[in-house]
């Protein structure tokens, strides 16, 4: 079984389409797993929800998805993110809202638990250090956990009671072994590791291989639409630096 793992699309249609095109070029996948934050920040929330749903994905909810439909107070967000959430809320159809409302906090798929933030706090917590990852291994039963939210590709493994960071480099396969792991495929629509290209993973269950890909997309097309929509300039410029 081949599976594409995507996180943090953030209404960036150009980035999302570039990733989907890349998946097709690589022969397609059997399943698409999405780790939340379909909307927020970007200019195409409705089209991104619609396109994602065409793939019948396994999908969990993210903090921006929740904020957009009023399940999280916007006061938890910085002013830019809050403004984008408010704008997004005005764009969504009733059907879009119903879809986001129906998304679960976590999903278990075979050996994997899927969550947006962390297994301990599926919507809000960022797993961005070995310290935070270490405590999170106690919060899921499955062997592996997939998270998004930081927009930074990362992998952590638990070995002999300690937690180690594992390098996840583009194009180089990582074979799942005996150790439990927490893995982040990076962000599709707003990467934050200094590489502005969209980030995603293909998992092949046959060789148990995880492979990270970075895909260039038309950043200026997304920026132009954000400008037209009147979204905050800070959110527009950060796309080209990937921070």
Which residues contact Zn ion (rule: CB under 5 A)? 8, 37
Question: 153 or 163: whose CB is closer to Zn ion?
Answer: 153
Question: 14 or 163: whose CB is closer to Zn ion?
Answer: 14
Contacts of 234 (CB under 8 A, 6+ apart): 80
Question: 65 or 96: whose CB is closer to Zn ion?
Answer: 65
Question: 8 or 96: whose CB is closer to Zn ion?
Answer: 8
Question: 22 or 37: whose CB is closer to Zn ion?
Answer: 37
**Beta-bridge partner residues of 24:** none
Contacts of 119 (CB under 8 A, 6+ apart): 106, 113, 136, 139, 140, 145, 147, 182
Closest distance of CB 145 from Zn ion, Å: 17
Closest distance of CB 197 from Zn ion, Å: 16
**Beta-bridge partner residues of 199:** 214
Closest distance of CB 151 from Zn ion, Å: 6
Question: 8 or 158: whose CB is closer to Zn ion?
Answer: 8
Closest distance of CB 10 from Zn ion, Å: 6
Q: Where are the alpha helices (DSSP H) in 26-136?
A: 45-54, 63-68, 79-89, 94-102, 130-136
Note whether 81 and 53 are within 8 A (CB): no
Note whether 35 and 5 are within 8 A (CB): yes
Closest distance of CB 18 from Zn ion, Å: 18
Closest distance of CB 39 from Zn ion, Å: 10
CA distance 4 to 42: 21
Of residues 46, 6, 55, the one with CA closest to residue 187: 6
> What are the angstrom distances between the C-alpha of 27 and each of 5, 58, 136, 197?
15, 20, 34, 21
């Amino acid at each position: 079984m081949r599976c594409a793992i995507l996180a943090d699309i953030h209404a960036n249609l150009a980035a999302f389409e570039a990733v989907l095109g890349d998946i097709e070029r690589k022969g397609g996948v059997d399943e698409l797993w999405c780790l939340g934050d379909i909307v927020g920040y970007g200019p195409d929330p409705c089209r991104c929800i619609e396109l994602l749903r065409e793939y019948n994905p396994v999908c969990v909810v993210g903090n921006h998805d929740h904020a957009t439909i009023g399940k999280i107070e916007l006061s938890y967000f910085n002013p830019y993110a809050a403004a984008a959430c408010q704008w997004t809320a005005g764009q969504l159809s009733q059907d879009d809202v119903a879809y986001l409302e129906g998304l679960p906090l976590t999903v278990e798929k075979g050996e994997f638990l899927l969550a947006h933030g962390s297994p301990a706090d599926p919507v809000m917590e960022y797993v961005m250090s070995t310290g935070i990852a270490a405590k999170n291994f106690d919060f899921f039963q499955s062997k592996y956990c997939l998270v998004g939210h930081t927009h930074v590709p990362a992998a952590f493994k638990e070995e002999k009671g300690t937690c180690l960071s594992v390098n996840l480099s583009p194009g180089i396969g990582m074979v799942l072994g005996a150790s439990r792991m927490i893995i982040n495929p990076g962000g599709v629509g707003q990467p934050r590791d200094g590489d502005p290209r969209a980030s995603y993973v293909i998992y092949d269950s046959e060789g148990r291989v995880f492979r990270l890909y970075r895909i260039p997309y038309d950043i200026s097309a997304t920026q132009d639409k954000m400008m037209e929509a009147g979204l905050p300039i800070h959110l527009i410029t950060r796309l080209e630096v990937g921070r």
